[in-house]
Structure formats: C-alpha cells, structure tokens
Amino acid sequence: MQQRTLGPFQVSAIGLGCMNLSHAYGVPPSPEQGASVLLRALDLGCTLFDTAALYGFGANEELVGKVLAPHRHRFTLASKCGMQGVDGKRVIDGRPDTLKATCEASLRRLRTDVIDLYYLHRWDRQVPIEDSVGALADLVREGKIRTIGLSEVSAATLRRAHAVHPITAVQTEYSLWTRNPEVAVLEACREMGVAFVAFSPVGRGFLTGALRDVGTLDAKDIRRAMPRFSPENYAANLRLLDGLEALAARAGCTPAQLSLAWLLARGEHVIPIPGTTQVKHLEDDLAAAALQLPADVLAQAGALINHQSVVGPRYPAATQVEIDTEAL
C-alpha cells in the first residue's frame, strides 16, 4: 500500500473510516461483520483506522478496541472528542474537563494506553478554540494522546489552534461533490505541513453509483435529512452518474476508485478515509491507492461533478451552523 505522512506517522494512503460499522446509516451490521471488515482492512495494508466517541455513542470505539487491540502495534489509531452521546442525544461540548473525561472513556473502550491522533470533532463555539486545544495539549503532555487533530474547521480556526499546539491533521468532508475545503483550508494545511484527512470521500455512497433510490434508505439513515439526498435533489444529481460511470469504465476502474484516485491526486497531504460495511467494497476502495490514472481522466471527473453541478447543500441549516468550514 502506498504511504502518506500523517504528522510523525507513515500511514496507508487510504485509511478506513469506521463510523458506519456502528452509526449513521440505518441499522449497523452485526459485530461479526464489522470485525471482518476491520481485520480485512488490516490484512490489506490499511494502517489508519478512524473512530470517535460519538459513533454509536461509544459502540464503535468498543468494536474497534475489541477487534484491533491485539494488533495495536500495526496501525495508527485516530478518535475524536467534543461531540458525543449524552442521555441518548448528540451533544457538542468542547469544555476542557469534558474533553479530558471523554478521552479517559475512549482509552478504556479502545483498550489502549494512548490514542495516536485525537481530534476535536467539532469546535464548540461557546468555548474558545484555544481552550479546547489547550486541554488536548495537556493530554499530549500526559502521554494519553500523541497528536492533535481538528474536524470541520476553517483555515482561520486552524491557525488559531496551531498557535497553541501543533496540529497534525484536519478532517473535513471532501470529494468530487463536496469542494468546500478548496476555498482555503486545503491549501492552509499544505502550507503548514498539516495532513488533510478527507471523510465521506465517495459522497456518502453517491459516487459509488450503487444508491439509485433514496426511498430505500432506512428511516433512521442520516442522509434522509441531508438536502442532496431529498428525492427532488437526488433525482437531479443522479444525472451526473452516467458520465462518471462511463469515465470510470474507460479508465478500467469503478466510480468509487476514480473518486478516490481524484482525491489522492489533490495533494500528497490528502488522505481519504472511506467507510463501508462490506468486505467487497473495502477491497475495491483500498485498491484505488495503486491506480495510476491519466491526468486528463481526473480532470474530466472534476469537471463533471463539482459544487456547480451538484444540487443541494451538504447539510441542513441546523447542522450547518454547528460547523466552521468555509462555505462555497
């Protein structure tokens, strides 16, 4: 597997986002199926596994810890704090004491003494970013985490945080159909030597071409509340897939692989972390790291699907106010 630099770590160019093994897209797979995905990823050379206290309200960290703790020396472990489940509800809380307590709970669930990369999952606007990052810096000094990351922040917030303690990575949604990072934070990361970890790199399933009818989504699937997945908007967006699928076929790969290859070509500091519940899809995703696609193919993909051709914002208004990323 091709390698990329993540702070002091060398990791696989494509990591694994573990969220949907426990959270977000309807009924999660069985623990046995989740374990098969995690172990197969490790066997295929994936060395970056990404989870969070929020996912499954602790269940995802429990799964990752149970399955991967015996192999802890073989991979870089990332988790997140600052957004978690409290009494069955999602809560954003960036107060220092909360972040430190969350870390202690995560260490127990993950069955590890130290988390390699610990993100502030969301910036709690009620707490100065300097205070939240200062708490994470305390955890670094205490040896409970090795490096600090931020999620869904702007370039300006990254710089404020970096002045308190070096930031190793910024994690934000980035794909052919979500281009917000291109406003400023992607380049800021490159300039500062900060890795850019791209979540939802295949558009929450859209760019795989497999989801044709949003009416089939589970009632609790979070995509049902996302504007791009409304029946009207999704019908318009589906028209983009024929061109992407034809382009991928000519390139000898799948649409998901083309989408991941496009991301990898955006910069050496970009590390996509697709998620899946299926071993077959996992194998397809990780194989994208070995592709050598012509520049004109990647350019055509980017011209076909982008913020101007996609219909609908990525988040509903209530969620949009919770994030700090630049808007297009």
Q: Which domains occur in the chain, in start order?
A: 3-205+259-292 (3.20.20.100)
- The one-letter amino acid code at 158 reads L
Below-70 pLDDT ranges, the chain = none
HSE of 186 in the Cβ direction (CA atoms, 13 Å)? 19
Q: Closest Cα to residue 52, out of 10, 110, 139, 130?
A: 110
**pLDDT value, residue 234:** 98
Tell me the H-state helices in the chain. 31-43, 59-68, 96-110, 129-141, 155-164, 185-192, 231-238, 241-251, 255-264, 279-287, 295-304, 317-320
**pLDDT value, residue 79:** 98
d(CA 122, CA 83): 6
**pLDDT value, residue 317:** 94
- CB atoms inside a 10 Å sphere around CB 182: 15
**pLDDT value, residue 159:** 98
**pLDDT value, residue 268:** 98
pTM more than 0.85? yes
The helix-helix angle for 31-43 and 279-287 (nearest 10°) equals 30
Which positions are annotated as active-site residues?
55
**pLDDT value, residue 238:** 97
Residues sharing a CB contact under 8 Å with residue 165, sequence separation 6 or more, in sequence order? 133, 134, 136, 137, 140, 148
The one-character DSSP state at 178 is B
